[in-house]
Amino acid sequence: MQADYIILGQGLCGTLLSYHLIKAGKKVVVIDAFNPFSAGRVASGLINPVTGMRVVKSWMIDDFLPVADATYAALERQLGINIVTPYSLLEFHATPEIHNTYRERALQTSYLTEYPDTASLDPYFNFNFGISEISPCSIIDMRSLQNAWRTALQESGSLLEEKFDWSQLNATSGGITYKGITAKKLICCEGSAAMENPYFSLLPFALNKGEVLIADIPDLPRTHIFKHHLKITPWEDGLSWVGSSFDWKYTDLLPSETFRAKAEQQLESWLKIPFSIKEHWAASRPATVDHKPFTGFHPLHPAIGILNGMGAKGCSQAPYFAYNMAQHLIEGTDLFAETDIKRFTKILSRTTV
């Protein structure tokens, strides 16, 4: 079989990249071994324009949001599904000092304000030090997106459901062959599994483990995302997504008793209403040491590319970089310089395959 591109992985990156390439009329084969605990199936799908302890605007968020909005809207139309739900996030402050920091930051970013209606939250939560509102946020229903796109790929005969077998790949500067399929390029979008990729495992990934609980909190309004140490986000079937942890020194990807006990204790002291835990999951985030994604082509094997390293921000970043990568492949436009893996040419030149 002759294809233009083989894409390894149908997580968020593989979904978005294959969508753009197919839309441009390219023949694409996507190879994915279904993993119910991939990052993209465990994530809550939050897009939050404000980041971290320093409460600053996320890197390039004003560039990412318009592309994300347009891409998800186009996918909703094409697939006939709803995947974007706008919310605001209510951040409960743990100390008066943190509350003051948020107040100061609120003067500097339009995304952050003091939440005026704290009384309405009294029946549900224990809190003492004020609440900030971050808006606009949104939740991307990543599971529905990946499921619907998977079905579309299956129906067009564009999906191979299997674990990629590296011993079957033959790469030359002119193209690749894999199990009888020839293509111009292989683009690797396998998230944290890139550590097993013989071409890209030398890249400076900083994978981290995240654990989440799926909880039933029947009396909780589904109006906002609530955050106090943990985030509570509306999830499927009337349930709530509760998470998550960030662990850089993990030895396995199993759900841990330590996380569950701590999270349950935090929920008990924060919530005034009953809850029960239905599921407990763990997955690895494909983060990078310099906090920038990896896009581009291997310096020694130009037929092999990568779109990866979205870390904890796949929903906002992946649409932008998938589009940039697709335009590069289709039109020959430049890759975004800051994420181009040319910055690791020296490291990648040590590749032994």
Ligand X SMILES: Cc1cc2nc3c(=O)[nH]c(=O)nc-3n(C[C@H](O)[C@H](O)[C@H](O)COP(=O)(O)OP(=O)(O)OC[C@H]3O[C@@H](n4cnc5c(N)ncnc54)[C@H](O)[C@@H]3O)c2cc1C
Residues near ligand X (CB under 6 A) are 9-14, 31-33, 35, 38-40, 42-46, 163-164, 189-193, 210, 212, 243-244, 283, 285-286, 308, 310-316
Smallest distance, ligand X to C-beta of residue 16, A: 8
Q: Are strands 175-178 and 276-285 parallel, antiparallel or unpaired?
A: unpaired
Structure tokens, 270: 């924060």
Nearer to ligand X, 132 or 288 (CB): 288
Smallest distance, ligand X to C-beta of residue 23, A: 18
Nearer to ligand X, 99 or 267 (CB): 267
Nearer to ligand X, 271 or 283 (CB): 283
Nearer to ligand X, 44 or 324 (CB): 44
Nearer to ligand X, 86 or 274 (CB): 86
Specify the DSSP element, H or E, that contains 106. Answer: helix 96-106
CB 192 within 8 A of CB 285: yes
Torsion angle in degrees (nearest 10) through CA of 142, 334, 176, 154: 30
Smallest distance, ligand X to C-beta of residue 241, A: 8
Smallest distance, ligand X to C-beta of residue 3, A: 16
Q: Which residue is nearest to ligand X, using beta carbons?
A: 11
Smallest distance, ligand X to C-beta of residue 343, A: 19
Q: Give, in order, the Cα–Cα distances in Å from 143 to each of 15, 32, 39, 348.
A: 11, 15, 10, 33
Strands (E), the chain: 5-8, 28-31, 46-47, 50-51, 56-57, 84-92, 112-114, 131-140, 159-160, 169-172, 175-178, 181-183, 185-188, 208-216, 225-228, 230-234, 240-243, 276-285, 294-297, 304-308
C-alpha–C-alpha distance, residues 246 and 206, integer Å: 11
C-alpha–C-alpha distance, residues 76 and 135, integer Å: 22
The residues, ordered by sequence, that sit 6+ positions from 129 with a Cβ below 8 Å of its Cβ are 92, 93, 94, 95, 96, 98, 99
Smallest distance, ligand X to C-beta of residue 103, A: 25
Smallest distance, ligand X to C-beta of residue 293, A: 9
CB 30 within 8 A of CB 158: yes
**Diameter of the chain measured on Cα atoms:** 65
Nearer to ligand X, 88 or 192 (CB): 192
DSSP class of 334: P
C-alpha–C-alpha distance, residues 276 and 298, integer Å: 48
Structure tokens, 290: 């310099």
Nearer to ligand X, 286 or 296 (CB): 286
Nearer to ligand X, 45 or 329 (CB): 45
Smallest distance, ligand X to C-beta of residue 176, A: 15
Smallest distance, ligand X to C-beta of residue 107, A: 27
The residues, ordered by sequence, that sit 6+ positions from 201 with a Cβ below 8 Å of its Cβ are 194, 195
Nearer to ligand X, 20 or 99 (CB): 20
DSSP class of 15: H
Smallest distance, ligand X to C-beta of residue 310, A: 4
Nearer to ligand X, 104 or 248 (CB): 248
